[in-house]
Structure 1
Amino acid sequence: MQTFTTILADIGSVIWGPFVLIPLLLGTGMFLTIRLRMLQFRKLGPALRLGLLKRKDDGGVGDISNYQALTTALAATVGVGNIVGVATAIALGGPGALFWMWITALLGMASKYSEAFLGVRYRITDARGEQSGGPQYYLHRGFAEVFGKTGGKIGLVLSLMFAVFAVLASFGIGNMTQGNAVATQMENSFGLDPIITGIVLFVLTGAVLLGGIKSIGRVTAGFVPLMILLYIVGGLIVLVVNAEHIPGALGLVFTDAFTGTAAVGGFAGSAILYAIQMGVARGIFSNESGMGSAAIAAAAAKTTHPTRQGLVAMTQTFIDTIIVVTFTGLVLVTTGVWKQGGDFAGTMTADAFASALPDGDKLVAVSIAFFAFSTLLGWSYYGERCMERLVGAGGVIPYRMVFTCVVFIGAITELEMVWNFADVMNGLMAIPNLIGLLVLSGLIVRETNRYLSNDPKLTANAAQVEEFMAASER
């Protein structure tokens, strides 16, 4: 088993190394940012207004509202990566890893927009009358539309690759790692037996999954904002207590991004490349930009045009990384706890909160429980949609049953191998999706520009959208 764990770690280091995903992720994000003329900066305000204030597209086709699709995607991404993943990145790559997480997010917003756009653009209505989409569909259908029969064959292979890797990833990043982090933190902070935690997660997960995406959407719509607010308020208190250290912490983040100081084993020097590698890998683990997963939730949204839901989906990366991850990173650096390392990175964040906030470690434990449970819900939907793509609707119920049982297994099992497995599957998911984003970028840019030239502030209603889109096609 140890040999297999080592093999997975070696594979992960190659996939997330300087010659595969780091240049592919950053390069794709940069390429799309340029082609879309910095869309993520120009349209962030209207996108936030549509997703968080208006919350729905009247007259749009879909199963859940814009807001519910956003919170479902947030549920899947605002998870253990925002606490444990950030701590791991900073412990191993130094404070500069936070800078590279920011860069990954800012560029990744263009990737997140593009994959959500395609998710809606090429979604289908399944046998149950629900909307289903994501890379498992748009890689095939998009390539076929743009490049004909031969392109369709290539796209089919890429779409099936994505579906397989996504199903496998759902049991890693979206399940066992989440359950294990909850059980570990609950045992450390409250002395709760992991078996009890596993049973509770098993029951809660199964209860929500019975209702499918509409049930998940309702739960995440009320649950996700509260859990994020709770964590941010706690982090804000810690930062207020350590306010005098904030300028120095920010300076360290920027300087360390180009020097690469590592904390584990004291101040052993590490190359800038390792800071970049940890920042990019853990940034993607946190916000999932470029992986294609959020496009699956976006495809279920009631929306009048792919551009509108793509922009709403884009805000998820902003909220996840630029807001939530930043609070975690600054808390770790301002308190100095990042220097201590630790076998379980979650204890670093707990110690940082506890240093300035009474029972701060318990707040982190509760936050991890909330974040991880929300991730379970979001990823269960991603996995079942990809399972449906592979074997049909008959695979959905068995998948839900197995997924629910694996939650319990994750809570009571040591998971070094699973964390390595999650990194590998995340990377393998991203590769076919990023290829698709690059190949289909011309279509994305063309249709985005055509829509925004008619509705730059995202205020058009369904009738107006239908009217000007019909006119532009004549």
Structure 2
Amino acid sequence: MLNTIESVNSVINNFIWGVPAMICIIGVGLYLSVGLRFLQICKFPYAIRVTIGRIFRKRDASDGAMTPFQAVCTALAATVGTGNIAGVAGAIAIGGPGAVFWMWISAVLGMCTKFSEVTLAVHFRETNKNGDLVGGPMYYIKNGLGPKWHWLAVLFSTFGVLTVFGTGNATQVNTITTAINSALENYQLINDQSKPVVCLVIGIVLAALVGLVLLGGVKRIGTVSEKLVPFMALLYILLALGVVLLHANRIPLVFTMIFEGAFNPQAVTGGIIGSFFTSMKRGVSRGIFSNEAGLGTGSIAHACADTKKPVKQGFFGIFEVFTDTIVICTLTALVILCSGVTVNYGQAAGAELTISGFTSTYGSWVSIFTAVSMCCFAFSTIIGWGLYGARCIEFIFDEKVIKPFMVAYSLVAILGATVDLGLLWSIADTFNGLMAIPNLTGVFLLSGTVFKLTKEYFETEGKNA
């Protein structure tokens, strides 16, 4: 039975993350980029000025809402996760250094896609019975396309609920327990006999922490995210920059490997990876999986922002993809390639490859800091996806199911800490990709609204933009 499920899921997964889906995601991103006159490039300095300026502007949000900065931190909490550490390593191992180049391409186009998603989410959002601002793909499909498209909104929400327990929770908790166990083993503080007990304790503690944050509502999620995300991102960026600077003499060689490997991977990997398409597919799919541009999930958090300007909040989408993929994913790639650790091309790899880049440079003591960083990455993802799941299940049913969902979602942390998740991860990955289909359909059909809102915004801003 399990083999049958695995085989069926494998076929669907290969299609969802295969050529047709990537053409669809890149195609919509390119279409939006042309329609917005490559806003993500031409207006990039303005986007950074607007977003950074609002980050340092201290103000409280109204009830049932987040500040714009809290909204972007919550969205970043979900996107900046273990995929930035393990996903990039896997892309390089299977697709070669050239996969990094295609990751950059997916990010540049993804900036426009996410800008559009956030703009639509804020423009078409609603206020629920509890007084909370709610929005996202299901709401802009329902309110933007009309009642006849309601089924598409329900489809997105259904895929969202099915995804959060795996991608957003169990697999992230499993990463936390792995990181902590690895650090403790380095100092011989645990053995094989005590490991299951440690995992159970970690699972219970995480379940309690997740429940405490999520049951506190939108404002508590925003408060935790705005403190956790800058800390974890800064810690990781500083550690990674240290590796790059200590191996600065290898930087020119590494960039040569990336650009040459993008079009001629066999020349860089010794013939082990000989397919240009393999490099492109791995880079694009890992980039999309990391920054979630095209999946629509990040716009759910942005819809909670206390703002009256959809387009202005949309620029946070550009900032988000830039931070997640261009900055953090690139630094991860440089840690692996600059440190000179052995990469077994053609074989699957994960976080251990990235961690080896740190330990080979700093020594085994840095495993404590990488463990803390990975725990923060994974915990923030759990919080962000908890909000996404709550909004999706609320859309299908009503506000009454939110608290029971939060409790169930929190308890899944215990399962994630103690059970082998092989098939669950694969199925969650499939549902994650399935969300892109209804979302991109909605964004494409509502692209005219995005173009109109953006044009009106810049006509109002005038010379300031």
Structure 2 residue 245 is the aligned partner of structure 1 residue 240:
yes
Whole-Å Cα distance in 2 between the matches of residues 409 and 271 of structure 1? Answer: 39
**2: CA distance between counterparts of 1:224 and 1:262?**
39
CA contact (8 A) 1:111 1:289 kept: yes
Instruction: Give the share of equivalent positions with the same residue, in percent.
Output: 40
Amino acid at match of 1:413: V
- Give secondary structure in 1 for the equivalent of 2:233: helix
Distance 1:257-1:122 versus aligned 2 partners, 3 A rule: same
3-state SS of the aligned residue for 1:129?
A: coil
Larger mean CA deviation between 337-346 and 179-188 belongs to: 337-346
- Tell me which residue corresponds to 1:220: 225
Aligned partners of 2:267, 2:117: CA distance in 1, in Å? 34
Deviation (angstroms), 1:57: 9.9
**Distance apart, 1:343 and its partner CA:** 6.2
Mapping of residues 187-226 of structure 1, within 5 Å: 187-191=181-185, 193-226=198-231
Instruction: Specify whether residues 261 and 226 from structure 1 end up closer, same or farther in structure 2 by C-alpha distance, changes over 3 A only.
Output: farther
- Deviation string for 1:121-152 (max 9, x for gaps)? 110010101100001111121112xxxxxxx3
Confirm or deny: 8 A CA contact 1:262 1:268 kept in the other structure.
no
Give the distance between the partners of 1:238 and 1:316, measured in 2 at CA: 24
Measured at CA, do residues 340 and 194 of structure 1 come closer, stay the same or move farther in structure 2, by a change above 3 Å?
Answer: farther
Partner of 1:372: 378
Contact 2:90–2:348 (8 Å) recurs in 1 = no
| Aligned partner (choices 309, 315, 334) of residue 311 of structure 1 | 315
- 2:341 paired with 1:337: yes
Equivalent-residue separation in structure 1 for 2:358 and 2:60 (angstroms): 45
The corresponding residue for 1:421 is 427
The letter for the 1-side match of 2:248 is: A
Superposition pairs for residues 55-454 of structure 1, below 5 Å?
Answer: 55=55, 63-144=65-146, 152-153=147-148, 155-191=149-185, 193-261=198-266, 268-337=272-341, 339-340=343-344, 345-358=350-363, 359-454=365-460
Counterpart-to-counterpart distance in 2, 1:458 and 1:10? 51
Question: In the aligned structure 2, how far is the partner of 1:6 from the partner of 1:189?
Answer: 35
C-alpha deviation, 1:344, in angstroms: 5.5
**C-alpha distance in 2 between matches for 1:186 and 1:241:** 27
Which residue of structure 2 aligns with residue 4 of structure 1? Answer: 5
Q: Go from structure 1 to structure 2 and tell me whether the alpha carbon gap of 1:14 and 1:262 turns closer, same or farther (over 3 Å shift).
A: farther
Is the 1:50–1:458 contact (alpha carbons within 8 Å) kept by the matching residues of 2?
A: no
Indicate the SS of the match to 1:401.
helix
| Partner amino acid, structure 2, of 1:410 | G
Matched residue of 1:337: which SS? coil
Which range is displaced more, 66-75 or 278-287? 278-287
Return the alpha-carbon distance in structure 1 between the equivalents of residues 132 and 22 of structure 2.
35
Unaligned runs of 5+ in 1: 145-151, 460-474
Q: What is the DSSP-based 3-state SS (H/G/I as helix, E as strand, rest coil) of the residue aligned with 1:257?
A: helix
Tell me which residue corresponds to 2:43. Answer: 43
* C-alpha RMSD of the superposition: 2.1
Structure 1, 45-54 or 394-403: larger mean CA deviation:
45-54
* C-alpha contact 2:95 2:273 (8 A) present in aligned 1: no
Query: What amino acid sits opposite 2:434 in the alignment?
Result: L
CA contact (8 A) 1:77 1:375 kept: yes
SS state at 2:265 partner? coil
For each residue in 1:350-372, what CA deviation from the matched residue of structure 2 results, as whole angstroms up to 9, or x when unmatched? 11110101323332222110000
Alpha-carbon shift at residue 262 of structure 1 (Å): 11
Q: Which amino acid aligns with 2:249?
A: E
Tell me which moved more, 201-210 or 323-332: 201-210
The whole-number CA distance in structure 1 between the counterparts of 2:463 and 2:164 is 36
Check whether the contact 2:59–2:67 (CA below 8 A) recurs between aligned residues.
Answer: no
Higher mean C-alpha deviation, range 335-344 or range 164-173: 335-344
Question: Counterpart amino acid of 1:197?
Answer: I
How far the C-alpha of 1:162 sits from its partner, in A, is 0.5
Residue 9 of structure 1 and its aligned partner are, at CA, apart by 2.5
Equivalent-residue separation in structure 1 for 2:413 and 2:267 (angstroms):
33
Pair 1:60–1:187, CA change in 2 (3 A): closer
Aligned-partner Cα distance in 2 for 1:335–1:5? 37
Please, what TM-score do these two structures have when normalized by structure 2?
0.92
The answer as to whether partners of 2:96 and 2:273 remain within 8 angstroms in 1 is no
**3-state secondary structure, aligned to 2:460:** coil
Q: Distance in 2 between matches of 1:333 and 1:327?
A: 10
Which AA in structure 2 matches 1:9? Answer: S
- 1:230 match: secondary structure: helix
Task: Give the drift of 1:99.
Answer: 1.1
Q: Relative to structure 1, is the Cα distance of residues 12 and 454 closer, same or farther in structure 2, using a 3 angstrom cutoff?
A: same
2: CA distance between counterparts of 1:169 and 1:3? 20
Q: 1:334 to 1:164 in 2, by over 3 A?
A: same
- Contact kept, 8 Å, 1:59 with 1:303, in 2: the verdict is no
Give the C-alpha shift of residue 27 in structure 1. 0.7
The answer to whether the Cα contact below 8 Å between 1:178 and 1:376 also exists between their aligned partners in 2 is: yes
Counterpart CA distance in 2 for 1:260 and 1:15 is 24
Query: Cα distance 1:53–1:334, how it changes in 2: closer, same or farther (>3 A)?
Result: same
Task: Please list the CA deviations of residues 18-70 of structure 1 after superposition, one character each: whole Å capped at 9, or x if unmatched.
Answer: 12x11011111111011001111233333333333323698997711110000
Change (3 A) 1:325 1:118: same
Deviation per residue, 1:321-357 (Å, 9 max, x gap): 0100000011111223361367661111111110101
Structure 1 residues 338 and 310: CA distance shift in structure 2, 3 A: farther
Structure 2: state its 5+ residue gaps.
Answer: 186-194
CA–CA distance in structure 2, aligned partners of residues 279 and 64 of structure 1: 33
